[in-house]
Structure 1
Amino acid sequence: MPGLIGKKIGMTSIYDASGKNVPCTILEVGPCVVTQVKTLEKDGYEAVQLGWGDKADHRTSKPMKGHFDKAGVSPKKRMVEFTGFDRELKAGDELKADEVFNEGDFVFVIGRSKGKGFQGVVKRHGFAGVGQATHGQHNRLRAPGSIGAASDPARVFKGMRMAGQTGNKRVTVENLQVMKVMPEEGLMVVKGAVPGHKGSTLVIRK
Structure 2
Amino acid sequence: MSAILAKKLGMTQLFLEDGTVERVTVLEAGPCPVTALRTQERDGYTAVQLGFGAAKEKHLTKPELGHLKKADAPPVRHLVEFRDEGEGLEVGATVTVEAFEVGDKVKIAGTSKGKGFQGTIKRHNFSSGPKSHGSHNVRAPGSIGASAWPARVMKGIRGPGQMGNKRITQKGLEVVRIDADQNLLIVRGSVPGPRNGVVEVRTDG
What TM-score bracket applies, with the shorter chain setting the length?
over 0.9
Match of 2:146? 149
Match of 1:129? 128
**What's the TM-score once normalised by structure 2's chain length?**
0.93
Structure 2 residue 164 is the aligned partner of structure 1 residue 174: no
1:185 to 182, 185, 192: 182
Q: Shift of the alpha carbon at 1:17? A: 4.8
Letter in 2 for 1:136: G
Match of 2:29? 29
Contact 1:129 1:145 in 2 (8 A): no
Match of 2:156? 159
CA distance in structure 1 between the partners assigned to 2:32 and 2:21 by the alignment: 31
Q: Shift of the alpha carbon at 1:155? A: 1.5
Structure 2 residue 201 is the aligned partner of structure 1 residue 204: yes
Unaligned runs of 5+ in 1: none
**What's the TM-score once normalised by structure 1's chain length?**
0.92
Letter in 2 for 1:178: V
Unaligned runs of 5+ in 2: none
Structure 1 residues 26-175: aligned runs within 5 Å: 26-82=26-82, 83-85=84-86, 88-98=88-98, 100-130=99-129, 132-137=130-135, 139-175=136-172
Bigger drift between 17-26 and 113-122 goes to: 17-26
CA distance in structure 2 between the partners assigned to 1:195 and 1:53 by the alignment: 18
SS at match of 1:110: strand
SS at match of 1:199: coil
Q: Shift of the alpha carbon at 1:158? A: 1.3
CA distance in structure 2 between the partners assigned to 1:160 and 1:42 by the alignment: 44
Letter in 1 for 2:90: K
Contact 2:5 2:198 in 1 (8 A): yes
SS at match of 2:109: strand
SS at match of 1:65: helix
SS at match of 2:33: strand
SS at match of 2:80: strand
Runs of 4+ in 1 over 3 A off after TM superposition: 83-86
* Alpha-carbon RMSD: 1.4
